[in-house]
Structure 1
Amino acid sequence: MKSVCKMEIPVIDLAPYVDVTSGKFSCDEVLHPETKSVCKEVSRILRETGALLVRDPRCSTEDNNRFIDMMEKYFEQPDEVKRVQERPHQHYQVGSTPGGVEIPRSMVDLEMQKKLRALPKERQPTIPTGPDLKSRYMWRVGPRPSNTRFKELNSEPVIPEGFPEWKEIMDSWGFKMISTVEAVAEMAAIGFDLPKDSFTNLMKMGPHLLAPTGSDLGSHGEEGTVFAGYHYDINFLTIHYKSKFPGLSIWLRNGEKVEVKVPEKCLLIQAGKQLEWMTAGDCKAGMHEVVVTKSTLNAIEAAKQENRSLWRVSSTLFSNVASDAVLKPLGHFAKSSLADNYPAMFAGDYFEKELSEIKLKGQNEVH
């Protein structure tokens, strides 16, 4: 029997730092003398858990519901309709990614397999036996560079037919979540004893992706079904609003498994590999999986009773370092004994290497 820790991740409230009129976030220690200690708390939680819960008055439940309602309608369409929006030659970094394409990191990474088998049985992830069942839609948010070595990572967005409000809803929700990420990035930088704009400067013109993930619980609703196998995220920080269906578990730095419960009106932020790189491993990319659990089954039953959609849609956004920026340990982290494990390279080169390993780049390449 696998036991899962029900630990509560602390919630950081951004409301005191957001101007009600302009919506601008400020990390000013003159205005907020407690800023330094809150920032230290942000970096501590990210370091120990790889995840963070935040409340941001700029991201409302209404915004999220409007977005989720539209994405449920999109994912409920027949596969042949969604196929029109697939862009395999662009590494599936824009448009639709069907289920059965992305390979979970834990299937191809032998070192990771060794580590997860060393975990006590009750903390081990569900070992995936094939590609992820999840579908995804990738929508680029924010300005793209006019000149870049990484054209595929900075492609034009794809708009599906039959959704006149698509661009407005995607951009509006995407920009709001990026604002939250930027606020957390400033606080984390201060907490890690770096200049506050250390991360946000590198995020400018980054290939940020609003990447709603759809899991068909109507067709694959059995307990133990793996929608997203044990993996880390390859970007900087990942952010999601609360999903209607539970199923996400994360692993803490100490190897403990936690079934995530996102409180109402909160967002979950997870540390990605780019943050690990810039802190020379001081803050590790968080390991996680999405699997049908008993809690998911209860939510499926409730949705059936209320005649709601059985697609589990997560409002996921991947924030990224700009593709042409150099990824390397920053500030005092460059002197870390582990810094050699994180050599300087273009963020785009790192990203493409990772995409190859999880089979999103390469097998459908068009030259």
Structure 2
Amino acid sequence: MELAIVDLTPYLAIRDQGGSPAEAEEEKLAALCAAVSGSLRETGALLVKDPRCSAEDNDRFIDMMERYFECPDSFKRLQERPHLHYQVGVTPEGVEVPRSLVDEHMQEKVLKMPELFRPTTPKGPDPKWRYMWRVGPRPSITRFQELNSEPVIPEGFPDWKQTMDSWGLKMISAIEAVAEMAAIGFGLSKDAFTSLMKQGPHLLAPTGSDLQYHGVEGTVFAGYHYDLNFLTIHGRSRFPGLNIWLRNGQKVEVKVPVGCLLIQTGKQLEWLTGGECLAGMHEVVVTSRVTSRTLEAIKQARQQNHSLWRVSSTLFAHIASDATLKPLGHFADATLAANYPTMFAGEYVEQELSAINLKGKKSPS
């Protein structure tokens, strides 16, 4: 099954022109918004084209992150902030534990899957590095200071802040447009989601996976999991390996076309829709289904003297830490709404971080 591709250009043009759109434009807008909300509800994922986010922007960002991840481990660990739950700076490989290793309900669900669609079982913490960079304004007063800390800038990268902020803000703009369209498609007010995102702890969070040492079949870079945030957006990676699960249980290898961005539903969106829009499950792994493409990409990179680090161009868009998570509008009457009690978004995030070993919990032996 191919994921839907939605060009945001018509929506942005209608939204930004001001005034009331013509009837034909209103019909076009309604169809676009229905396509966005429908895809998020049925598949948990969506491909979008945003004229503000170019392939050149993505390449510039990945080029810099490849240089960073190629640095010695001792240098990268200078940017490690475990006391801030790894929510800024670098998270070394071997720290983050896949949710599927600690969630018994998820493990039971995996065992019931057809073998063809089962995720690859991780053997321990993820062998990937990740860099967390806070994007956008943060609240001056918050109950969750650790989730809203100042960003960390590594020495020797003079363009770091400009590159990270530029790409991060562009991807947040794309997320905001999708969030508005989804809200309209779900029958909510246009700002139902974006009003809750203001001053959220949005994170530009690229991962780095060393294919020189880990690029063999069976390596699980990011074990089967969902994202704890609102919506996740990915630019195109230079190496394959991302698998997602649709709502019907089908496993799909994602191929992001040049110039497109991948949007995935997170747990906070699931909360706000009372379980009608489920958080998308996914993994990054070298398996028999993608090994040939991965190994061919590694071979070409070696021939061209390019980096063998697989960098994900990922941003986690969050609901503001001090905002309230609860099913919105008519979603409060959803069948499963009672499973999503009212709580602060930051409280929920801290619970999730503890479960995956980023907030003081020991990894399983």
TM-score by length of 2: 0.95
What residue is the counterpart of 1:41 in the other structure? 35
Write out per-residue CA displacement over residues 118-174 of structure 1, whole angstroms, 9 at most, x where no aligned residue. Answer: 001111000111000110000000000000000000000000000000000000000
Tell me, in whole angstroms, the C-alpha distance in 2 between the residues paired with 1:36 and 1:147.
Answer: 38
Tell me, in whole angstroms, the C-alpha distance in 1 between the residues paired with 2:263 and 2:346.
Answer: 22
Q: 2:260 aligns with which of 243, 260, 266?
A: 266
Give yes or no for the alignment of 1:202 onto 2:202. Answer: no
User: 1:268-307 counterparts in 2 under 5 A?
Assistant: 268-292=262-286, 293-294=290-291, 295-307=293-305
Give yes or no for the alignment of 1:350 onto 2:352. Answer: no
What residue is the counterpart of 1:4 in the other structure? none
Tell me, in whole angstroms, the C-alpha distance in 2 between the residues paired with 1:207 and 1:303.
Answer: 35
Tell me, in whole angstroms, the C-alpha distance in 2 between the residues paired with 1:241 and 1:188.
Answer: 20
Amino acid at match of 2:82: P
Write out per-residue CA displacement over residues 229-253 of structure 1, whole angstroms, 9 at most, x where no aligned residue. Answer: 0000000000011100010000010
Tell me, in whole angstroms, the C-alpha distance in 1 between the residues paired with 2:360 and 2:295.
Answer: 36
Tell me, in whole angstroms, the C-alpha distance in 1 between the residues paired with 2:66 and 2:188.
Answer: 41
What residue is the counterpart of 2:306 in the other structure? 308
Per mean C-alpha deviation after superposition, the further-off stretch among 329-338 and 30-39 is 30-39
SS at match of 2:105: helix
8 Å contact 1:18–1:26 — kept in the other structure? Answer: no
8 Å contact 2:11–2:32 — kept in the other structure? Answer: no
- Aligned CA distance change for structure 1 residues 74 and 360 (closer, same or farther; 3 Å): same
What residue is the counterpart of 1:323 in the other structure? 321
Tell me, in whole angstroms, the C-alpha distance in 2 between the residues paired with 1:28 and 1:8.
Answer: 34
Amino acid at match of 1:13: D
User: 1:175-190 counterparts in 2 under 5 A?
Assistant: 175-190=169-184
Report the structure, 1 or 2, having the larger helix content. Answer: 2
8 Å contact 1:14–1:54 — kept in the other structure? Answer: yes
- Aligned CA distance change for structure 1 residues 354 and 164 (closer, same or farther; 3 Å): same
Q: 2:339 aligns with which of 334, 338, 341?
A: 341
8 Å contact 1:28–1:35 — kept in the other structure? Answer: no
Tell me, in whole angstroms, the C-alpha distance in 2 between the residues paired with 1:116 and 1:25.
Answer: 48
8 Å contact 1:27–1:187 — kept in the other structure? Answer: no
SS at match of 1:258: strand
Tell me, in whole angstroms, the C-alpha distance in 2 between the residues paired with 1:359 and 1:347.
Answer: 19
Give yes or no for the alignment of 1:91 onto 2:89. Answer: no
Write out per-residue CA displacement over residues 305-337 of structure 1, whole angstroms, 9 at most, x where no aligned residue. Answer: 211100000110000000000000000000112
Tell me, in whole angstroms, the C-alpha distance in 1 between the residues paired with 2:136 and 2:91.
Answer: 21
TM-align CA RMSD: 1.6
What residue is the counterpart of 1:76 in the other structure? 70
Q: 2:232 aligns with which of 217, 234, 238?
A: 238
Instruction: Give 1:17 deviation, angstroms.
Output: 2.6
8 Å contact 1:17–1:25 — kept in the other structure? Answer: no
In the alignment, structure 2 segments of 5+ residues that lack a partner are none
Instruction: Give 1:19 deviation, angstroms.
Output: 4.3
Amino acid at match of 2:352: E
SS at match of 1:297: helix
Amino acid at match of 1:191: G
8 Å contact 1:105–1:230 — kept in the other structure? Answer: yes
8 Å contact 2:275–2:334 — kept in the other structure? Answer: no
Per mean C-alpha deviation after superposition, the further-off stretch among 138-147 and 301-310 is 301-310
Give yes or no for the alignment of 1:114 onto 2:127. Answer: no
Tell me, in whole angstroms, the C-alpha distance in 2 between the residues paired with 1:110 and 1:143.
Answer: 37
Aligned residues: 356
8 Å contact 1:17–1:27 — kept in the other structure? Answer: no
Give yes or no for the alignment of 1:150 onto 2:144. Answer: yes
